[in-house]
């Protein structure tokens, strides 16, 4: 986060890395909790956990390779993304 000089005033901007990480964690947790039969193994806890962690890592790596996390957004937009993912997690 830093202040960048706009035309009229200072605008706080941030990279999408942290809001997208929260979104990935929230959405994958909701999907894994609500649809457990969709995935490979629900009997073995080790395989289920490793599949969950691998899903998070692969999604985050994919977004890093596409340089989606490097985009600059306003601080308020980042906070809205985080708030939306928290609300999604609470209501799903």
- Assess contact for 13 and 72: CB atoms under 8 A: yes
At residue 5, the pLDDT reads 58
Over the stretch 33-79, which tens digit does the pLDDT of each residue have? 888 777 776 677 888 888 889 999 999 999 999 998 889 999 999 99
Confidence of residue 84 (pLDDT cuts 50, 70, 90): very high
* Stated pTM of the model: 0.76
Q: Please say if the pLDDT value at position 7 is more than 60.
A: no
List of residues 6+ apart from 23 with CB closer than 8 A: 81, 82, 84, 85
């Amino acid at each position: 986060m830093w202040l960048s000089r706009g035309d009229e005033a200072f605008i706080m901007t941030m990279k999408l890395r942290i809001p997208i990480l929260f979104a990935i964690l929230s959405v994958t947790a909701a999907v894994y909790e609500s649809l457990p039969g969709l995935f490979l193994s629900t009997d073995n806890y080790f395989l289920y956990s490793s599949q969950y962690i691998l899903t998070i890592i692969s999604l985050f790596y994919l977004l890093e390779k596409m340089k989606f996390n490097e985009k600059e957004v306003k601080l308020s937009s980042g906070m809205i993304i985080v708030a939306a993912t928290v609300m999604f997690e609470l209501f799903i």
